[in-house]
Chain A
Amino acid sequence: MFVCRFESFDVYFSVVCCTAGVLALFLLPVLAKNTYISENALMPGSASPMLSNQHVSDGNRLVKDLTNPNSKSSETGIESHKIIAQYMLDLGAEVSFHKFHPQMNQFHPLHFFSSPDSGKIQENYSCSSYGINTVGIIRAPRGDGKEAIVLVTPYNALKSGFGEALSLGIAYSVFSLLTQVTWLAKDIIWLVADSQYGEYAAVAAWLREYQTPKFSSLSTPNAEMCPDVNNLFELKGHSISGSKFSNSFRRAGTMAAALVLKVRDQNEQFEDTINIYAEASNGQMPNLDLINVVNYLAVHRQGLRVNVEKLWSLLNSSWLKSLGEIFESLAKVAKSLYPKWKFGIPATEYVEGTATLASSLYYQALGVPTGPHGAFRDYQVDAITLEISPKFSLDKVWRNDILLRGGRLIEGVIRSVNNLLEKFHQSFFLYLLTSPSKFVSVGVYMIAFALLIAPLPMVAASLYVDANSSSNCSKGDSSIPSAITDTDEHSIAIRSWRWLNSAKLVFIVHLWGAIVSLLPYFISQIPDCSPTTSFMIWVLLSILSLLTLNSVLASPLACAKATQEKEWALVKSVTISSVFIGLGLMSVINFATAEIGALLMVPMCLLAQPLKLDVRAGTLRSFCRMICNLVLGHIAFPPAAFFLLKGMLDGFGNVNVGDFWMWVESLWAWNSATYLFIGMVQLPCWVLCISILFHTC
């Protein structure tokens, strides 16, 4: 009797906690605080911008030269690099070219948390595939050169759109201003990243060379021999200020911050907007102050609209709107009760906040950087990508206006960072954005997660106690107590170690999870394999390995069936505790993954119960539970969850089986811990829950 009471209390507790957890998650947009600039030294916008029309016309000149058709005559696009380098040299900056070979992202088992390595020395570099980054450095006239600010403009010389040229123009106008100013305390590095092999690859290659160069005792004959490159270096040599140019790699000090500047080509909006991308690998975010400064300067100084990523499909969902209205009306009532309770936000704002929060969670959970700024975060440099999307028109006034405003924004941000005496440390590193000027800090969003996973240890403990005591009772009922008193102690001892059996099962399944997450490494070695077939191979191998493991390691399921009736409860208890540990660990590494994983896994784990029992019981409650179990059992399967999410976002029409393989491939290529989480926590958990569902007891 007590047990069932305890169990019911347990059920109440878990239901309340889970509901509260989900509710708290939906309340986050309401609880979001307004951002503020935490570091006083930044002083954004306190100085009036110095960027004048003179600099803008300089930038315009560069844009014209770059978009000039005869500059694109060369096939390798070296001409435009030369133009950029010449412009930098004319400003008196130090210029160097950085030649790199694009490194293909590969699956490195166990490389997930290691620091970026200094690239392998590959033997067979071909002359045809290399990229050239143009780097210009302004040394601060009175600075001590200990720190530097990096400005990155991705540029593809081969097929550059007008947007890329414009971004170079903006950067150049800022750069030309910065060569003249006296307030500079940190060096400025302008990196024109050759994006023909991807923006990220170029920036990452430059950073690798900057931070972890490879020294070799003998000069290895590599692409230095390529005629094109030599040509490039020679032509620069006879410039007037030749000493400023060198083909060796140039450095400045420790990087304080980095800005990636992009201009989008097409835009259908009616307003000049700026998109901020901040998510780096494994959900790391730059310091909130950096976003604050950009947001403050863009909105209050340059009159640009600032956007952060949103899940657009959520904007039109009616249920979210009605939820927002409920919150709004609740807030109204609360405010009328006590005027100081002002926590409500309008419903439309709530919907937007939720969409932003969802995308913030999604991109952090994915663990894949949303732009070239991600490369900086690997070296503990705060970086964001600014994408300016201007309202498009072709007249000169508009172009000048964009150059001026964009340039002034960049100048303001650089000036703020330049004011910094210390590195970014004042503001938050762990946050979720609900709008460019609103954030949820770690202290608030942890509550939702903590509420979600709070029932897990409780339920695990109660299940364990339950399984032990119930078998105790049943044993007491069935056997004659007086007959085997001396073996009773022995059986008690055995019983208290019975959980080891289920722990073994859980361990085996987790081991299988590890094997499954290593399999893609071997599958990717197979040449000429379409994603679909790879995925199929993966699934087959996984099933095969599960069966093998199961048969080799004493088939615990069958064993359990034979011996124990309440075995499933013990298995569930151990599963739940392992899930709890996994989620707890993941929340430290990447909170967003853990949150989304908890949303999927916690209900499934808590509800899992053999279907047979439910069928046997035949009540409404057990029927509901059965339905829930079946639905959750489908949803929580990682590929199913992926396809469902993809279908919800993009429509179910173009869902392809190979997509999941591609997605997984991108995850491991970016060394995302989410991949490990899916392979080693979620998938085993799902398998265990399914095994519980189909347990024959």
Chain B
Amino acid sequence: RPHILLLLIGTHQFLQCWIAFGSVNEEGQKQEEFSEELLLKPLPDHKLLAHSHSQSSAPPSTSNGCHHHLFPKAISQLVQKFRVKEMELSFTQGRWNYESWGGFDPISSSNAKPPGVELWAVFDVPQHHIDASWKNLTHTLSGLFCASINFLESTATYSTPEWSFPPASGNVRYGTLPCEAVCTENLTPWLKLLPCRDKAGIALLLDRPSLYRGFYHSQRLHLTSTGSSSEGIDSGIILEQTLTVVLQPNSEMAIEVHASEKHIQPSWSLSSIFGKQVSGRYVLAKSSSVYLLLDRGLVAELKFPNKENGKSAANGLTSENFWSNPSFELSANPDRIFLEESSSHSKSLSILYMFQVEKYSESEPFDIGLMWKVPVAWFCQKTPLHASRFLMGSGNERAAIAISLKSTQFTEGFMSANSKDGSCELRVDVFQVVPWYVKVYFHSLRVFVDQPRAVSDIIEKIHVSPSKDKMSPGVMEVVLKLPCRVNTAALTIEFDKGFLRIDEYPPDANQGFDIPSAIISFPNFHASMEKCPVMSYTEVLLVPLTTPDFSMPYNVITITCMVFALYFGSLLNVLQRRVAEEERFLKAKAAKKTGRLPLLLSKLSAKLRGRRLEPLHSPPSSSSFINSKLVLKVILVAGLAVGWQYFFS
């Protein structure tokens, strides 16, 4: 019997895999699919972008009930329960450097996210249910991803973009948590959604220490479901999980300073940057491939042999032309090479090397490396306008937010393409959410453009929903139409720094308060074939608000208690005192012996009562004598004590 059990365990894994594989294959059209890709792209500033993309799709839930083979059950339940049509959740650490890492290509445009957590969702429920669904969704996601997404539940933190947010629809809810710290505890649940976690396939590379050593780290989860009951055709749920990392290969290289090698791009390989290699493909994945993308600017710099031969050669290219180049060397032969021509820059093209992981196995793991031989420098394609946002002003009362847009040289191509009619225009959408304690004065919105043009021509549309205290944030959506020749444009809007109640301050109130990133999108430009516009996020701003001294309540309590004690004490004193008797007693006492001080005091009290003092006929000399005698005695005793102490110590 133990023998059989052992055998069963031994074959268990294999059987399971086989069955799963079979089930995937036999269903034909309506199967659950999973595919994974890894894209590597050298960046101009000696860094490397690694972008892993895995997609699982599930057929409509009606076809096989609530059972799933590959698709994560948690997600499908979530979609069914809250009727999410589309949703995107991203966790980001670090900033995307739009200037040197580019912002135009699809990867940077859709994967560059603001720091912290960003969540938006489109619901397929009636209008009045949306907020409830959103609240439940935030709580669910918060539990699922070990993050404080549940803070997005309160109406003061999320907003309803009207039309500037890309999935333009009234059912969108959008919220961000700029100060959420992202770490492995968020990555692990994210990996759990993969069919094999990080145990096989490309996900094997996702080694935590090397991921979090990077300069930018963004994990994103995007799901689309068309599984609505109202529509006839279902395609189920598509879950896209992407992880974008910017890493510095060979960090020890950077220490060698001012040598000629400094300008050479560092050479890297998968094993050197991740410390791991891919040992074959994941058996359940439909496809699993690694891509190496050479940017347009880079390709233009590299001067491939075929380019010199002219355009005709580019058409009849052979693969050797592209991967044997004098300036770099690939450690593995690519399986396929794609050339991508862009619409605006017809001259330059980007090259995509594809490596299929299927061919490799445990004994012969896949590892790709890139060796640079000569220094190259290039630029990534930037967004048409570089957006940066900053705070203006000083003091604790008033300040202003400024969004400045600066032209990158990119627009020239666009301008030449569109300038036939003479009036070339560049549309820029600005979407800005401000928390309620930053009280924005929307009337103070000012637009500055360095071209002679009326402001009314520049602002095409504007939508503003003012904030309500403790209820909802302020939302500003502006559509600008800038002339293409614009060099700099700026938007400024003033705000008052609000006062919060003491219980509304977070525990770290002195850190300041965050204003979430503004979204700048350029609907004229599309990053990829699917018509999604080029987007960029601005910096998160930190507004130092006035904070109370948090020990103040205790001071106030103490002072109030003191005042109360004094008040009631004196009141009781006055109530129980018989003035006339008191005076008589005093007089009698004064007749006996009157010191200088009591006399003075009685005079003072009499004065304060507004009466004239009757002259006292008493010999003050004798009383002062007695008094001074007393004082002398006291001094004598004290002196004795001091002397005693001094003598014996």
What chain B residues lie within 8 Å of A144 (beta carbons)?
Answer: 94-95, 115-116, 178-179, 540
**Residues of chain A lying within 8 A (CB to CB) of residue B95:** 139, 143-145
Residue of B nearest to A213 (CB): B392
- B258 partner residues in chain A, CB cutoff 8 A: 90
A104 at the interface (CB under 8 A from B): no
- A90 vs B263: C-alpha distance in the bound complex, in angstroms? 9
A2→B490 contact, CB < 8 A: no
Of A238-246, A302-310, A392-400, A437-445, which binds chain B? A238-246
Which B residue's beta carbon lies closest to that of A179?
Answer: B254
B323 within 8 A of A: no
B428 interface residue per 8 A CB criterion: no
Known contacts being A254-B542, A336-B649, A425-B510, is A215 close to B492, with CB within 8 Å? yes
Contact of B544 among A9, A54, A248, A380 (CB under 8 A): A380
9 contacts between A and B (CB under 8 A): A90-B257, A180-B254, A182-B213, A215-B402, A217-B448, A241-B45, A380-B394, A421-B508, A422-B512
Hey, what's the 0/1 contact readout for A49-80 against B, CB within 8 Å counting as 1? 00000100010000000000000000000000
Inter-chain CA distance A251–B448, complex, in Å, is: 19
Residues of chain A lying within 8 A (CB to CB) of residue B254 = 180
B640 within 8 A of A: no
State whether B395 touches A380 (Cβ < 8 A): yes
In the complex, the answer to whether A142 meets B395 with C-beta atoms within 8 Å is no
Query: Does A423 have its Cβ within 8 Å of any Cβ on chain B?
Result: yes
A54 close to B94 (CB less than 8 A): no
Bound complex: CA A550 to CA B511 (Å): 56
* B335 contacts partner chain A, Cβ-Cβ < 8 Å: no
Q: Which residues of A contact B492 (CB under 8 A)?
A: 215
CB distance from B176 to the nearest CB of A (A): 12
Bound CA–CA A48/B511 (angstroms): 26
Given A141-B215, A337-B645, do A379 and B603 touch, yes or no (CB 8 Å)?
Answer: no
Within the complex, what minimum Cβ distance (angstroms) separates A14 from chain B?
16
- Are B613 and A251 neighbours in the complex by a CB distance under 8 Å? no
* Residues in chain A near residue B510, CB distance under 8 A: 422-423, 425
Whether A115 and B646, one on each chain, are in contact in the complex, defined by CB atoms closer than 8 angstroms, is: no
Could you tell me the dominant secondary structure of chain A's interface residues? loop
Q: Bound complex: CA of A139 vs CA of B604, how far in Å?
A: 71
**Known: A2-B603, A5-B603, A380-B394. Contact between A243 and B379, CB under 8 A?**
yes
In chain B between 160 and 203, which residues have their CB closer than 8 angstroms to a CB of chain A?
Answer: 178-179
Contact B377 A240 (CB under 8 A): yes
Least CB distance, A287 to chain B, in whole angstroms: 11
Q: Is A211 in contact with B511, judged by CB distance below 8 angstroms?
A: no
> Are B394's CB and A211's CB within 8 A?
yes
**B508 and A422 contacting across the interface, CB-CB below 8 Å:** yes
Asked if B232 is at the interface (CB within 8 A of a chain A CB), the reply is no
Q: Which residue of A lies closest to B446 (CB)?
A: A215
A-B contact count (CB 8 A): 134
Tell me the bound Cα distance from A342 to B46 in angstroms.
62
| Nearest residue, chain B, Cβ from A116 | B394
Q: Please, which residue of chain A has its CB at the minimum distance from the CB of B46?
A: A92
Flag if A180 contacts B116 (CB, 8 Å). Answer: no
Listed in ascending order, the chain B residues whose CB lies under 8 Å from chain A are 44-46, 93-95, 97, 99-100, 115-116, 178-179, 213, 215, 217, 254-255, 257-258, 262-263, 375, 377, 379, 388, 390-396, 402, 406, 446, 448-450, 452, 487-488, 490, 492, 508-512, 514, 539-544, 547, 600, 603-604, 607, 613, 642, 645-646, 649
Choice from A54, A142, A147, A213 contacting B402 with Cβ under 8 Å: A213
Set of chain B residues within 8 Å of A147, measured between Cβ atoms: 542
B571 CB to nearest chain A CB (Å): 25
Partner of B392, one of A5, A211, A240: A211
Bound-state Cα–Cα, A240 to B649, Å: 79
The 8 closest A-B pairs by CB, nearest first: A422-B510, A146-B542, A144-B115, A215-B448, A379-B394, A422-B511, A219-B450, A254-B542
Residues in A neighbouring B94, C-beta threshold 8 A: 141-144
The docked-state distance in angstroms from the alpha carbon of A240 to that of B45 is 10
- A92→B394 contact, CB < 8 A: no
Q: A136-165 interface mask toward B, CB cutoff 8 Å, 1 = contact, 0 = none?
A: 000101111111000000000000000000
Please give, as numbers and ranges, the residues of chain B lying within 8 Å of A251 by CB-CB distance. 388, 390
Encode contact with B along A613-649: 1 for CB under 8 Å, 0 otherwise: 0000000000000000000000000000000000000
A216 close to B (CB within 8 Å): yes
Contact check, B391 vs A243: say whether CB atoms are below 8 A apart. no
Known interface pairs A90-B262, A144-B115. Does A421 touch B512 (Cβ–Cβ under 8 Å)?
A: no
Q: Is A483 an interface residue (CB 8 A)?
A: no
CB-CB under 8 A from A242, the residues of chain B are: 377, 379
* Chain A contacts for B179, CB-based, 8 A: 144
Near B by CB (< 8 A), chain A positions 247-304 give 248, 251, 253-254
Roughly how many angstroms separate A243 CA and B541 CA in the complex, as a whole number? Answer: 24
Does the CB pair A2–B607 fall under 8 Å? yes
Nearest to B100 among chain A residues (CB) is A243
In the complex, the chain A residue whose C-beta lies closest to that of B251 is A180
A459 to chain B: closest CB distance in Å?
16
Task: With A115-B394, A180-B254, A337-B645 as known contacts, state yes or no: A253 contacts B541, CB within 8 Å.
Answer: yes
CB of B97 within 8 A of CB of A139, answer yes
B116 / chain A contacts, CB cutoff of 8 Å? 144
Task: Give the docked Cα–Cα distance between A242 and B393 (Å).
Answer: 31
Give which listed residue, B257, B512, B607, contacts A254 with CB less than 8 A. B512
- Nearest B residue (CB) for A215: B448
Chain A, residues 180-195, CB within 8 Å of chain B (1/0): the string is 1010000000000000
- B613 contacts A2, C-beta separation under 8 Å: yes
Residues of A close to B257: CB separation below 8 A: 54, 58, 90, 176
- Of A248, A336, A378, the residue contacting B394 (CB under 8 A) is A378
Q: CB within 8 A of A146: which of B263, B375, B540, B613? A: B540
| Smallest Cβ-Cβ distance to A249: which chain B residue | B404
A520-554: contact bitstring with B at CB < 8 Å (1 yes, 0 no)?
00000000000000000000000000000000000
Does A240 lie within 8 Å of B490, measured CB to CB? no
Told that A58-B257, A336-B645 touch, could you supply 9 new A-B pairs with CB distance under 8 A? A6-B607, A143-B95, A147-B542, A215-B490, A240-B263, A241-B44, A248-B488, A254-B544, A422-B508
Kindly state whether residue A212 has any CB partner on chain B within 8 Å: yes
Shortest Cβ distance from A92 into B: residue: B45
Q: How far is the CA of A421 from the CA of B509 in the complex (A)?
A: 10
Q: Are A9 and B395 in contact (CB under 8 A)?
A: no
Confirm or deny: A235 has a beta carbon within 8 angstroms of a beta carbon on chain B. Answer: no
Q: Which residues from chain B contact A248 at a C-beta distance below 8 Å?
A: 406, 488
Q: Which chain A residues lie closer than 8 Å to B547 at the CB level?
A: 425
Query: Is the CB of A218 closer than 8 A to any CB of chain B?
Result: yes
Give Cα A429 to B255, complex, Å. Answer: 41
Q: Which residue of A lies closest to B258 (CB)?
A: A90
CB nearest to A380 among chain B residues: B394
* Closest beta carbon of chain B to A508's beta carbon, Å: 33
In Å, the complex CA distance between A685 and B321 comes to 93
Closest to B217 in A: A142
A496 to nearest B CB, angstroms? 14
- Chain A neighbourhood of B93, CB < 8 A: 142
In the bound complex, do residue A180 and residue B394 qualify as a contact, i.e. CB atoms below 8 Å apart?
no
B96 CB to nearest chain A CB (Å): 11
Cα of A248 to Cα of B213 in the assembled complex, Å: 31
Q: Are B406 and A180 in contact (CB under 8 A)?
A: no
Specify which chain A residues have a CB less than 8 angstroms from the CB of B45 in the assembled complex.
92, 241, 243-244
Q: A425 CB to closest chain B CB, in angstroms?
A: 5
- Kindly provide the distance from the CB of A47 to the nearest chain B CB, expressed in whole angstroms: 19
CB-nearest residue of chain A relative to B399? A211
The answer for the CA separation of A586 and B429 in the assembled complex, in Å, is 51
CB-CB nearest in chain A for B449 = A217
- Across the interface, do B396 and A243 meet the contact criterion of CB distance under 8 Å? no
B511 close to A423 (CB less than 8 A): yes
Q: Decide if B44 touches A217 in the complex (CB within 8 Å).
A: no
Q: Which residues from chain A contact B540 at a C-beta distance below 8 Å?
A: 144-146
Known: A422-B510, A425-B547. A115 touches B395 (CB 8 A): yes
| Residue of A with least CB distance to B604 | A6
Minimum CB–CB distance from B172 to chain A (whole Å) comes to 25
Closest-CB distance, A240 to chain B (whole angstroms)? 5
Asked whether, in the complex, the Cβ of A253 is within 8 Å of the Cβ of B542, the reply is yes
B568 to chain A, nearest CB (A): 27
